[in-house]
Chains A and B, each alone.
Chain A
């Protein structure tokens, strides 16, 4: 039972991190109808910018404070992500208005490859560290109940708190701010939003910028855990089953979907994996999502698709 609970908690904490990446997909899809395949590349690009500037700034400016370097690097990386958002809107999206969904998807695929290459050319292809002081050692709870206790990873716990706070902030942003309301209006109906004076182009830049910010936070958390390296961009692949399951248009769906996938893949690897050779958790997440789609094609919280015949 102790082992089961350990796996369950580990899955839940991984799930929160998947949700964080999935949020980036959902934000952009909700407001622009674009399935942004470049979200993973944005996570890598943002994390590379953060890691490298945190390393370079003390050398360039001659100070030693790691905290200051991290804060400034975070701000620079955030600004870079907004510039990327602006360029994507200016050079890609603006020219593809009214094109098919497949065209837009392929365009973001191109952006993904471009960002992957640009990131490695500009910032390097090594493994870089983001040291924001996250604790690395585990804690053990309920030692009196279970032999050896239940292991919890402090780093994952903190990451969960940060991710939860970010989701809360985003919800507040969407519900309480003028820009957030404008974003929701665009999401509901582009033409209606435009007719009351909401500038679509600016809204798209803002939403890509917000998605870039989410990518940065995800990149910092994942980068702190794994090191900043090319594989971070594949983290996005872990978020795909999450959005299949949670629905492409729902923020709560991204969160609940993340938790289900996180728990599902850990339990499947630990209990089913040994029976069929192991190494199943990555594809099992997709199987889980696909099985779910059989019963609920729009995802857990996605909008029901009704087509007039």
Chain B
């Protein structure tokens, strides 16, 4: 017995010693809490799992690098199954935990709509990088929402610009037939206003076909597409709707190189193992996949190599995984920006973090230093602009991986987006009896 206890003590001491070598010491144990509304189960889990893993791996990397100026990142997951009611329940459960939530990243447009009215009262920012309400880019009305790096409207605009580049320019869209096949949800409907506006401007014929959740029944939709014979199909699917669309396209003989998706339709799980998906392209608001990036190498070396990886090593660098990584990075960099104003090395409140997200200035140099070279481009927010940028690139599935269609970075045309965003934001403000923020409020 004594020998066994001695052995046990030796093992514990060795483990403690080795972990003290690998885990940074956080002197005062200051913690910054990042709640995660994940969907690791349910119909959208194939996208939700790598997305969540990217988040968690990045927070682990931040801690391995010494935290946010010494403040340890802590997180807690709450499972929403991508259901809005469960998302709200998770928000209520987590908002006060661990000293209070820094922010919420909803990972769902539906949940974003539900939480937009709650966040100002609780003084917690809502980050929706690449998704959420398109009108929340207007910080004058949506003080607490941050659709950083682009909105669904920006997705739609860059997607159309890519289609235009395939036919020789925006002026060549005249007379073309384009079908929007969209998930019949708040997310899918976000594409409609910008595409209608573009159809009006460029004279193409836009038809729209909704697909009911979860999107496994698309036979009628593709028969309609076969009948209409559009030049392009813009795919706004999510989860299983995407792979089903590609299968139905094959079953109805529609060429896959005439189908163009957006980032929720452009993950590996949408195309892997789907015979006939080759040639399908997707325009991804940054980031795309980034298996060769420095941040991925760091995650593999500092997290996975130590047996602390959240998911399988093979998914590290895939498109949706990278979205989780970038989303987590944005949440951390906002806190870092807030620390510069409110105290470096200190935990910031949700309200202080909001200031950080509104004054985010991620230059290319900063991004490169963080390991995001060739993964994403600069983001700079302001009181009026809560989006910061809308860079996107097109990728083509070659049967084994997403390949860049070209080196071109697209950016949403703000002269088209801004009026639509402002009109929608003003309507929201009028409905909720909100006043547009004044210039001096932007300094707070």
B224 and A270 form a contact (CB under 8 A): yes
Point out the residue from A7, A117, A231, A238 that lies within 8 Å of B240, measured CB to CB: A231
Determine the distance from Cα of A31 to Cα of B91 in the docked complex, in whole angstroms: 46
Quick one: closest A residue to B39, CB to CB? Answer: A125
Given known contacts A226-B240, A279-B184, is B219 in contact with A14 (CB within 8 Å)? yes
Contact A120 B212 (CB under 8 A): no
- Residues in A with CB closer than 8 Å to B251 are 136-138, 153, 155-156
Tell me whether A266 and B41 are in contact in the complex, defined as CB-CB below 8 angstroms, given that A137-B250, A138-B253 are known contacts: no
Q: Which parts of A110-142 form the interface with B (CB within 8 Å)?
A: 117, 120, 125-127, 129, 136-138, 140
Partner of B220, one of A137, A226, A227, A281: A281
Contact assessment for B243 and A127 in the assembled complex, using a CB-CB cutoff below 8 Å = yes
Check if B14 is an interface residue, CB within 8 A of chain A. no
Q: State in angstroms the CA–CA spacing of A153 and B46 once bound together.
A: 27
| B159 contacts A by Cβ under 8 Å | no
Asked if A10 and B223 sit within 8 Å, CB to CB, the answer is: yes
B-contact bits for A219-253, CB 8 A (1 contact / 0 none): 00000011101111011001000000000000000
Contacts of B211 in A (CB 8 A): 279
- Are A231 and B209 interface neighbours, CB within 8 A? no
B327 close to A (CB within 8 Å): no
B223 touches A227 (CB 8 A): no
Q: Which B residue sits closest to A153, measured CB to CB? A: B251
Residues of A within 8 A of B40 (CB): 125
CB-CB under 8 A from A7, the residues of chain B are: 220, 223
Which residues of B in the span 233-291 have a Cβ within 8 Å of any Cβ on A? 239-240, 243-244, 247, 250-253, 269, 272-276
B195 to chain A, nearest CB (A): 16
Say yes or no: is A269 at the interface (Cβ < 8 Å to chain B): yes
B223 touches which of A6, A120, A137, A230 (Cβ 8 Å): A6
Q: Which of A126, A129, A265 contacts B49 (CB 8 A)?
A: A126
A120 and B226 alpha carbons, distance in the complex (Å): 36
Contacts of B239 in A (CB 8 A): 229, 231
Distance in angstroms between the alpha carbons of A117 and B221 in the assembled complex: 31
CB–CB A238/B217 < 8 A: yes
- Chain A residues closer than 8 Å to B49, beta-carbon distance: 125-126
Q: Is the CB of A127 within 8 A of B212?
A: no
Whether the pair B240, A266 counts as a contact (CB closer than 8 A) is no
Q: Which residues of A contact B41 (CB under 8 A)?
A: 117, 120, 125, 230
Instruction: Tell me, yes or no, whether B227 is within 8 Å of chain A by CB.
Output: yes
Q: Are A279 and B46 within 8 A (Cβ)? A: no
* Mask of B23-43 contacts with A, CB within 8 angstroms, 1/0: 000000000000000001111
| A197 located at the interface, meaning its Cβ lies under 8 Å from any Cβ of chain B in the complex | no
In the complex, are the beta carbons of A277 and B210 less than 8 A apart? yes
CB nearest to A2 among chain B residues: B227
User: Closest CB-CB distance, B313 to chain A, in whole Å?
Assistant: 15
Taking A127-B46, A136-B250, A151-B253 as contacts, is the C-beta distance between A278 and B217 under 8 angstroms? Answer: no
Is B216 in the interface zone, CB < 8 Å from A?
yes
CA of A227 to CA of B253, assembled, Å: 19
CB-based nearest B residue for A148: B226
Min distance, Cβ B316 to any Cβ of chain A, angstroms: 16
Task: Tell me the minimal C-beta distance from B83 to chain A in angstroms.
Answer: 12
Q: Look across to chain B and name the residue whose beta carbon is closest to the beta carbon of A274.
A: B224
Task: Please tell me which one of the listed residues A120, A232, A281 contacts residue B217 in the complex, with CB atoms under 8 A apart.
Answer: A281
In A127-183, which residues have CB < 8 Å from any B CB?
127, 129, 136-138, 140, 151, 153, 155-156
- Nearest CB in chain A to that of B241: its residue: A231
Q: Are B276 and A229 in contact, CB atoms less than 8 angstroms apart?
A: no
Q: Tell whether A75 is near chain B: CB-to-CB under 8 Å.
A: no
Interface residues in A239-290 by Cβ distance below 8 A to B read 265-266, 269-270, 273, 277-279, 281-282
CB distance from B215 to the nearest CB of A (A): 8
The reply to whether the CB of A3 lies closer than 8 angstroms to some CB of chain B is yes
Q: Is the CB of B212 within 8 A of A279?
A: yes
Residues of B with C-beta under 8 A to A282: 212, 217
Whether A125 touches B216, Cβ cut-off 8 Å, given contacts A3-B227, A136-B276, is no
Contact indicator A151/B226 (Cβ below 8 Å): yes
Is B223's CB under 8 angstroms from A281's CB? no
Candidates A3, A234, A278; contact of B210 at CB < 8 Å: A278
Of B43, B215, B272, chain A has the most CB atoms within 10 Å of the CB of B43
**Minimal beta-carbon separation of B140 from chain A (angstroms):** 33
Tell me the nearest residue of chain B to A281, going by C-beta.
B220
Whether the pair A269, B220 counts as a contact (CB closer than 8 A) is yes
- Tell yes or no: B214 within 8 A of A by CB: yes
29 contacts between A and B (CB under 8 A): A3-B227, A120-B41, A125-B40, A125-B41, A125-B45, A126-B45, A126-B269, A127-B240, A136-B247, A136-B251, A138-B251, A138-B253, A140-B253, A151-B223, A151-B252, A155-B251, A156-B251, A225-B247, A226-B240, A226-B244, A231-B43, A231-B214, A234-B214, A266-B219, A266-B223, A270-B220, A270-B223, A278-B209, A279-B210
* Contacts from B to A (Cβ < 8 Å): 40-43, 45-46, 49, 184, 208-212, 214-217, 219-221, 223-224, 226-227, 239-240, 243-244, 247, 250-253, 269, 272-276
Given A125-B41, A127-B240, 13 other A-B residues pairs in contact with their CB atoms under 8 A: A125-B40, A126-B46, A156-B251, A227-B247, A230-B41, A231-B214, A231-B239, A234-B43, A234-B216, A265-B220, A270-B223, A278-B210, A279-B211
Question: What are the 9 A-B residue pairs with the smallest beta carbon separation, nearest first?
Answer: A269-B220, A125-B45, A279-B210, A129-B273, A231-B214, A231-B43, A127-B46, A279-B212, A279-B184
Q: Which residues of A contact B (CB under 8 A)?
A: 3, 6-7, 10, 14, 117, 120, 125-127, 129, 136-138, 140, 151, 153, 155-156, 225-227, 229-232, 234-235, 238, 265-266, 269-270, 273, 277-279, 281-282
